[in-house]
Amino acid sequence: MEEKLSSVAKNFTPSPIQELSHLAQRCNAINLAEGFPDFPAPLQIKDVAVSAINSDFNQYRHVQGICDHLAAAMKKMHDLDVNPLTDIAICCGQTEAFAAAIFAVIDTGDEVVLFDPSYETYEGCITMAGGVPVYVALDPPQWTFCPGKLLKSFTGRTKAIVLNSPHNPTGKVFSKEELEVIAEACCRWDCLAITDEVYEHITFNDKKHISLASLPGMQKRTIITSSLSKTFSVTGWRIGWAIAPAFAASAIRNIHVKITDSAPAPFQEAALTALTSPPEYFEGLKKEYEFKRDFIAKVLTSIGFQIHFKPQGSIFLFAELPKDCLLSDVEYVKELIKEAGVVAVPGCGFFHKKLSMEPLSEASCNYQKRYVRFAFCKSIATLAAAAQKLSDLKNATRYEHS
């Protein structure tokens, strides 16, 4: 019966992140792999959700207030004028907003430009819709891209570019200059941009998150996707959105309605409270994560990891294996789980060999197996425990070798 699977499903492989998670669970490892917190969500937001359930907000609904708040936020953060009645679609998480956006604009054969490395789900979604992913490398160690190569990756078949900033897995926050290059490519080829901005409120050292849509000529061609999940530590609530010009928002809403019909009702209510959190909340969030970033960076450096690029945002740190390490990223992570009881994600799952310009030689491709992604969206206790285990491992190894 296996032949009954669609060709799309047949080409898919299980998520490497999830598989390692299972190994980690079996070994009872400290999970610095998956990007969700192990500390509680803000109490006041949970209380609103509880009260919503009690007040019978449990049937299908669309809470327009969310759109109003989002429109206000877009104005405040990016000086974007968004019409809350026409330009916003509430979805089950950024995942669904992105899927709906892709299905709304991608036809079979349409090319979609992506940066490499990237979150593994984008490609799957694009492929499911019949699109063709075209990758442009972010070059280590600073994860910069060559503007010429970017421009050359656009063709007459390019429909859209996907931009994730702040970036998973590198933690890069695309600069104004970089965004201008991307915007120029989009405008020149009259393409759309679909952004994933879920880490929009997690930036460090006063680095500002700039939304691609706020650049000249971009708002009318950009679909912004984001969610409550990372900002409010409620990844399991599935409240996200797409903000786009009316024609796209409407198509996305149409598709969303056919895919899931509505986002969970009580959590939409809670979103109203979340989205009107005072500035102190966001400042606190940044500070807390900045501290954790610094902590984990220090720990990893002390055990030999090479951190050429300190994350400017997101909840991830992408570190290169120690200089003298001969293992691949996957082998190293397996060892880390077994010997230290700490799990992280091998970077190879985020890289794609087939880059748009020249295919890379084996040698220059090597870096794709040298990186490991650590999540620091964990409680201090968890991070401290991980630090302990890692330094124990290092001491043990050192002892062994002496």
Partner 1 sequence: MQPQCSWTRTHAQMLRPLSHKCSVFSEHWLKAAHSHSHSHSVRRSHNRPTFRATMSTVPTRKESLPAQDGSSQKAPQPLQVAKRLEKFKTTIFTQMSMLAIEHGAINLGQGFPNFDGPEFVKEAAIQAIKDGKNQYARGHGIPEFNAAIAERFKKDTGLVVDPEKEVTVTSGCTEAIAATILGLINPGDEVILFAPFYDSYEATLSMAGAKIKGITLRPPDFAVPIDELKSTVSKNTRAILINTPHNPTGKMFTREELNVIASLCIENDVLVFTDEVYDKLAFEMDHISMASLPSMYDRTVTMNSLGKTFSLTGWKIGWAVAPPHLTWGVRQAHSFLTFATSTPMQWAASVALRAPDSYYVELKRDYLAKKAILVEGLKDVGFKVFPSSGTYFVVVDHTPFGLDDDIAFCEYLIKEVGVVAIPTSVFYLNPEEGKNLVRFTFCKDERTLRSAVERMKEKLRKK
| Binding residues among 75-114 for partner 1 as defined by CB under 8 A | 85-86, 88-89, 92-93, 95-96, 99, 103-108
Shortest Å, Cβ 200 to partner 1: 19
> Could you give the CA distance from residue 382 to residue 296 in angstroms, rounded to a whole number?
11
* Separation CA 96–CA 153 (nearest Å): 27
- Minimum CB distance to partner 1 smaller for 61 or for 207: 61
Count of residues of this chain found to bind partner 1 when the rule CB under 8 A is applied = 92
| Complex with partner 1: residue 27 or 303, whichever CB lies closer | 27
Q: Among residues 70 and 390, whose Cβ is nearest to partner 1?
A: 70
CB of 97 to partner 1, least distance (A): 10
Within 169-198, the residues that bind partner 1 by CB under 8 A are: 184, 187-190, 192
Q: Does 9 bind partner 1 (CB under 8 A)?
A: yes
Site string for partner 1, 249-288 (x = CB under 8 A): xxx-xxxxxxxxxxxxxxx---------------------
Residue 20's SS3 state is helix
CB of 21 to partner 1, least distance (A): 9
By the rule CB under 8 A, 212 interacts with partner 1 = no
Polymer length in residues for the chain: 402
Judged on CB neighbours under 10 Å (0-12, 13-18, 19+), 36 is middle
Q: Which of residues 14-73 bind partner 1 (CB under 8 A)?
A: 15, 18, 34, 36-38, 40-41, 46, 49-50, 53-54, 56-65, 67
Query: At residue 259, what are phi and psi to the nearest 5 degrees?
Result: -85, -45
Asked if 77 and 279 touch (Cβ cutoff 8 Å), the reply is no
Cβ partners under 8 Å of residue 218, min gap 6: 183, 186, 187, 193, 212
Min dist CB 113 to partner 1, Å, is 15
Q: How far is the CB of 157 from partner 1 (least distance, A)?
A: 10
Angstrom CA distances, 207 to 131, 172, 314, stand at 34, 10, 12
Residue 402 near partner 1 by CB under 8 A: no
The answer to whether 227 and 241 have CB atoms below 8 angstroms apart is yes
Nearer to partner 1, 156 or 278 (CB): 156
Count the helix, strand and coil residues of the chain and give each as a percent rounded to the nearest 5: 45, 15, 40
Stretch that binds partner 1, among 7-15, 204-212, 352-360, 386-394 (CB under 8 A): 7-15
Burial-class residue 82 by CB neighbours within 10 Å (0-12, 13-18, 19+): buried
DSSP 208: P
Shorter beta-carbon distance to partner 1: residue 125 or 321 = 125
Nearer to partner 1 among residue 91 and residue 299 (C-beta): 91
